[in-house]
Structure 1
Amino acid sequence: MTDLRTDGGRGPASTGSSVRRPADGTRGGRPSGPLGRFHHRRWGDAWLIGLFGFLLALPLAGQPSVWYDEAATVISATRDWDDLLRMLGTVDAVHGLYYAVMKVWFDLVGYSPTSLRLPSAAFIGLAAAGVVLLTRTVSTRATGVVAGIVFVVIPRSAWMGTEGRSFALGTLIAVALTVVLVLAARRAGSPWQLQARWWALYGLIAWFGASTFIYLALLVGAHGAVILWAVASARVGRRTVRPMIVSLLGWGVSSIVAGLLSLPLVGVVTAQSGQVGWIKPIGPRTPSQVVLTQLFPENAAFAAVAWVLALVGLAMLVRRGVRLVRARRRSTAEPVGEIAAFESAYLHAGWSPTLLQLAVVWFAVPTILLVYASTLTSPLYSPRYLSYTAPAMAMLVAVGILALRWRPAVAIVTAGLVALSLVQVAHDRGTTRKADADWAGISRIVTEERAAEAPGTEEAVVFGPVRRHPKATSRIVAYSYPDAFRGMDDILLRTPPGDTDGLWEESYPLADRVDEVEGADVVWLVTSDRQDIRPEVAEALTPRGFVRTDDWHVKNANVERYERVPAEG
């Protein structure tokens, strides 16, 4: 008889007898119930892989230059609370809760490029641990371990772990929400008070998720589709649907409450929708964005291997699911033999979402809904906005890998995926890997040059435009690397960001403030290489006794240093 398990035969015995639990309500002496698969011995796998995810993201996390989106986190999370709340009323409300989390973090440890990204590394590690626990709850230990490893090395996950934005936190929330869905579903036959607690927890996490990143609301809708699929499958397989209907009601109530609590945020976010005007409409490139960019940016080799394995895993789950349904239709007796082993290992006897249902719906429904909505309204689909679908892909890939059965083959393929990812991880630690920005390079130049200046040198700085972002200026470099510019006279600054209702500062025109350089010995210019104001600055400074002593071109930006020449005679 074929062994359908993927744990090397360590799961439920594949015999001709029924698989029954001991009378004491345990599985071989281990706790049963909704937390049965979270037995203390099994937490070790989760924490080890979570640590792997954290340590993969941590090395040299501060080396890549901060870029525009991360600078938005910095400038928002370093404001006073009153200033932050005022800003969120006009812009970036969709990221408000994340900014609040980061503000608390910066208040505790201070800001640096490393501290900016450290929480994301921790969130990815916790999400990886959650993927292990979730997957083994609806599958086997081996599937959970492999799924956790695959999740960590998926290129989008590796990117999230070094990004000072809310994507890693959103993915952690998505995993936690799905874990609670499974555990709440398993309590469908419990007293209503206990069920209510689980669904209240689900609603709380759903609200927190939507408040952190509004697109997580799509996952809540996807969970409803999971339950409906389970109801349909139960009817076909002649199983009772009552526990599933109870779960559907619990999900519905908790989702509605979370939605109502989120309505104020939705209203504010809708009013601020113009800030995503940069998203391109759905077009010929959209399929490649879904297949490649969404989870495998800049790593086509990893994408090709992962998709093949995911499709193999999907085919395996579908085939075995069909066999299980057919077996149930032939008999109402408890399944035996390999069907019992498979049901315990993959589909889990009793009411619980299956790995197939969770993984397929988790990836497909948010993607389809967002792409479809983008065709009806203004463009909404950006591949990185669905980064939280990475756990679903990891689960399918894990099943595909374990379909190889031969342990050395499983190890080789898993190691191959890790290697493909590590090559990109090493490459992504380059200074200019984030949006072709090298603000860190500008910071180094300014810092080194200032260190060589005579004590008491008075310096001023002129910040020009920044490439691709007309609402900001090159002052964004100083927000990201403040130490390099500390003590300089920012002559064009009219209103600091914290004193405005918007994200960025307000500036004077150069012509209105050029006389402010009279007290300076050195003037620095940082500007875009596209909206080039160097001629204008030179024309303004030369009559005032300044000459250009150095200039640098640094990845989409120009830096110049002017020094006052003593008047002759």
Structure 2
Amino acid sequence: MVHAWVRRSAAGRPEAVAVLLPVLVMLAIGLWGLDRGGMWRDEAVTFQVARRSVPQIWHLLHSVDAVHGLYYLLMHPVLAPYPGEVALRLPSVCGAAATAGFVAALGVRLCRPRVGLWAGLLYAVTPMTGHFAQEGRSYALVAAGAAGATLLLVRAARSTRPGPWCAYGATVAVTCLLHEMALLLLLAHATTLALARVPARVWRAWIAAAVAVALVLAPLVLVSRGQSAQVAWLQRPGLGSVRRLLGLFTGPARLVIVPYLVLAALADGPARTRRGALSLPAVALPLVAVPPAVLLAVSRWSPLYDERYVLYALAGAPLLAAAGADRLVTRLARPLPHVVLTGVLAVTLVFAVQLPLLRRDRVPDRRPDNLAAVSALAHREVRPGEPVLFLPSLARRAALAYPQGFRGVRDVALSVPAPASGTLYGREANPGELRRRLDRLDHVWLVAEPFATARAWYPGNPTERVKLAVVDEEFVPREQVVRRGVTLRLYVRRPTYIPGNPTAQPRPARSSAGRAGPGALGSPPGPRR
């Protein structure tokens, strides 16, 4: 879409440069350090699900992750030829670059080329943009769809033909199918049309497009409501969430936030626009404010908010700041010479201030965990043929993402592998069968999530309770390695009690509650050096 827009603008090189330069800058930032040397848990889900067959992906979506179904299907052909971390993240880099181009194109179309150039560059150097440009998840693609749909809305509102409205509706529908939280984009666009006081024909066309989007999205909403347990970890947001989102949209450095907000405040208000005209503030202000505000408000009652769900709203912030900067320079008694270059240098200064954050973001430890490190740890400590118990079952994600480190080990609890079972982590044996398997072992390696070794954790799943109970009652910890995101612990069976043998220990009776006691997996030894 950016390419077509640039081709139509070939007669005006400033417009083409204003769009293409942010795209190239975003590509450079996105490709910088793309192979971090490790996936974290969410990326690992994308990696292992997208490499399944299409029927297996479809089977999975009936029970979990339906909200990401279209993204997994799109990633399937991407990862088929050369699966790896670069291929996993490359679509997000392209999505972020496209978004930078769309933001620039909006600034050019609604204001002037220099506004588009400044806005596109400012979007590209924002740390939040760079972070999600290197995530193997759908959010950068959702942001691209939202920005593209906003550009199509501007075009459709000035047209009397149905074609632009069909393109707008189709783009919004695909964006919402990539992630249903993008549906709030329709509220932002409705606010834009209301602020612009568009005629009735525009409202009729937009309502028809919105209804079509709702009909397309309805099956996904119904299915995902049945999978709402996946977002049970979300908390009710507070004022701290608002402050954090503000810092993410502008950049967390105070040297950046204050000028950014001042410039955004200088942008012409939407109420001052001519009736029926979509001005830049009328488009950008609802885009940046409405989706986060609505999701934050709803999440006070039913927690659904996470900052990545509203990444697409970020596109409005650089547009407002660039418009404010344009208004400032045009109101000066004497216009600054080389004003376009001055704005580019100002964005370069913003990039320099935030460069340390962008550099740190390319280190694997900046993510919640590093599954490559977990796999390497298992490869170093666990010998082929040794039994391994994952606690809980989702700890198996390291073995699914990086199977080399777990090659040849015996997965004690696994009954049906993840692809065949239509689950993310596989179907495990029932409690009775798992007890019988564990009874035949004299030692077992435990790969545990950090929360699973905490004293307060008590799982609702009976198979997970059996893991805790048997390991607590019948095994003792021998050695342990702790790394960020995982605990690897070797357990050996307690010696059988022999009367008259003072070195043997009695085996405790099994707890009727399914767990030996309130402690988490016995008393572990100190970490290995």
TM-score by length of 2: 0.78
Question: How far apart, CA to CA, are the structure 2 residues paired with 1:71 and 1:527?
Answer: 17
Cα distance change on mapping 1:109 and 1:382 into 2, 3 Å: same
**Structure 1: tracts of 5 or more residues without a match:** 1-32, 189-194, 232-240, 326-349, 451-456, 564-569
Find the counterpart in structure 1 of residue 264 from structure 2. Answer: 313
Find the counterpart in structure 1 of residue 137 from structure 2. Answer: 165
Find the counterpart in structure 2 of residue 101 from structure 1. Answer: 74
The reply on whether 1:373 has 2:298 as its aligned counterpart is yes
Residue from 429, 432, 443 that aligns with 2:375: 443
Q: Which letter maps to 1:218?
A: L
* RMSD between superposed Cα atoms in Å: 3.2
Residue from 386, 397, 404 that aligns with 1:476: 397
Cα distance change on mapping 1:60 and 1:447 into 2, 3 Å: farther
Cα distance change on mapping 1:516 and 1:177 into 2, 3 Å: farther
Residue 537 of structure 1: how far off its partner (Å) = 5.8
Question: How far apart, CA to CA, are the structure 2 residues paired with 1:551 and 1:38?
Answer: 64
Cα distance change on mapping 1:536 and 1:426 into 2, 3 Å: farther
Q: Is the 8 A contact 1:138 1:352 kept in 2?
A: no
SS of corresponding position for 1:57: helix
Question: How far apart, CA to CA, are the structure 1 residues paired with 2:90 and 2:259?
Answer: 33
Worse overlay, 488-497 or 156-165: 488-497
The reply on whether 1:359 has 2:325 as its aligned counterpart is no
Residue 464 of structure 1: how far off its partner (Å) = 2.7
Residue 443 of structure 1: how far off its partner (Å) = 2.5
Question: How far apart, CA to CA, are the structure 2 residues paired with 1:61 and 1:562?
Answer: 38
The reply on whether 1:197 has 2:163 as its aligned counterpart is yes
Find the counterpart in structure 2 of residue 177 from structure 1. Answer: 149
Find the counterpart in structure 1 of residue 101 from structure 2. Answer: 129
Question: How far apart, CA to CA, are the structure 2 residues paired with 1:89 and 1:447?
Answer: 34
Question: How far apart, CA to CA, are the structure 2 residues paired with 1:52 and 1:493?
Answer: 47
Q: Is the 8 A contact 2:110 2:279 kept in 1?
A: yes
Q: Which letter maps to 1:200?
A: C
SS of corresponding position for 2:153: helix
Residue 179 of structure 1: how far off its partner (Å) = 1.1
Q: Is the 8 A contact 1:64 1:428 kept in 2?
A: no
Find the counterpart in structure 2 of residue 430 from structure 1. Answer: 363
Q: Is the 8 A contact 1:154 1:390 kept in 2?
A: no
Find the counterpart in structure 2 of residue 485 from structure 1. Answer: 406
Matches within 5 A, 1:141-160: 141-160=113-132
Cα distance change on mapping 1:553 and 1:128 into 2, 3 Å: same
Question: How far apart, CA to CA, are the structure 1 residues paired with 2:184 and 2:316?
Answer: 14
CA-to-partner distance for each residue in 1:447-466, whole Å, 9 max, x for gaps? 4668xxxxxx743341432x
Residue from 164, 189, 199 that aligns with 1:223: 189
CA-to-partner distance for each residue in 1:282-324, whole Å, 9 max, x for gaps? 434343244235x36xx5316x6245424423324139x74x7
Cα distance change on mapping 1:141 and 1:524 into 2, 3 Å: same
Q: Which letter maps to 2:213?
A: A
The reply on whether 1:260 has 2:215 as its aligned counterpart is yes
Question: How far apart, CA to CA, are the structure 2 residues paired with 1:534 and 1:555?
Answer: 21
Residue from 162, 176, 194 that aligns with 1:210: 176
Q: Which letter maps to 2:282?
A: Q
Residue 173 of structure 1: how far off its partner (Å) = 0.2
The percentage of aligned residue pairs carrying the same residue is 26
Question: How far apart, CA to CA, are the structure 2 residues paired with 1:134 and 1:44?
Answer: 14
Q: Which letter maps to 1:280?
A: Q
Question: How far apart, CA to CA, are the structure 2 residues paired with 1:183 and 1:283?
Answer: 37
Residue from 263, 283, 306 that aligns with 2:238: 283
Residue from 452, 470, 475 that aligns with 1:531: 452
**Structure 2: tracts of 5 or more residues without a match:** 330-335, 454-466, 493-529
Residue 420 of structure 1: how far off its partner (Å) = 2.7
Residue 355 of structure 1: how far off its partner (Å) = 0.6
Find the counterpart in structure 1 of residue 510 from structure 2. Answer: none
Residue 69 of structure 1: how far off its partner (Å) = 1.9
Residue from 411, 414, 420 that aligns with 2:353: 420
Q: Which letter maps to 2:324?
A: G
Q: Is the 8 A contact 2:267 2:320 kept in 1?
A: no
Cα distance change on mapping 1:557 and 1:116 into 2, 3 Å: same
Matches within 5 A, 1:309-348: 309-318=260-269, 322=272
Residue 67 of structure 1: how far off its partner (Å) = 2.1
Find the counterpart in structure 2 of residue 301 from structure 1. Answer: 253
Residue from 413, 416, 419 that aligns with 1:498: 419
Find the counterpart in structure 2 of residue 63 from structure 1. Answer: 36
Question: How far apart, CA to CA, are the structure 1 residues paired with 2:9 and 2:193?
Answer: 21
Question: How far apart, CA to CA, are the structure 1 residues paired with 2:82 and 2:211?
Answer: 38
Question: How far apart, CA to CA, are the structure 1 residues paired with 2:263 and 2:181?
Answer: 29
Cα distance change on mapping 1:400 and 1:309 into 2, 3 Å: farther
Cα distance change on mapping 1:44 and 1:260 into 2, 3 Å: same
Residue 60 of structure 1: how far off its partner (Å) = 2.4
Q: Which letter maps to 1:99?
A: Y
The total of aligned residue pairs comes to 463
Q: Is the 8 A contact 1:551 1:560 kept in 2?
A: yes
CA-to-partner distance for each residue in 1:46-82, whole Å, 9 max, x for gaps? 2332122122122322316322222222232222222
CA-to-partner distance for each residue in 1:2-41, whole Å, 9 max, x for gaps? xxxxxxxxxxxxxxxxxxxxxxxxxxxxxxx999657573
Find the counterpart in structure 2 of residue 3 from structure 1. Answer: none
Q: Is the 8 A contact 1:180 1:201 kept in 2?
A: yes
The reply on whether 1:76 has 2:49 as its aligned counterpart is yes
SS of corresponding position for 2:388: strand
Find the counterpart in structure 2 of residue 559 from structure 1. Answer: 488
Cα distance change on mapping 1:250 and 1:265 into 2, 3 Å: same
Worse overlay, 278-287 or 201-210: 278-287
Residue 387 of structure 1: how far off its partner (Å) = 0.5
Cα distance change on mapping 1:62 and 1:480 into 2, 3 Å: farther
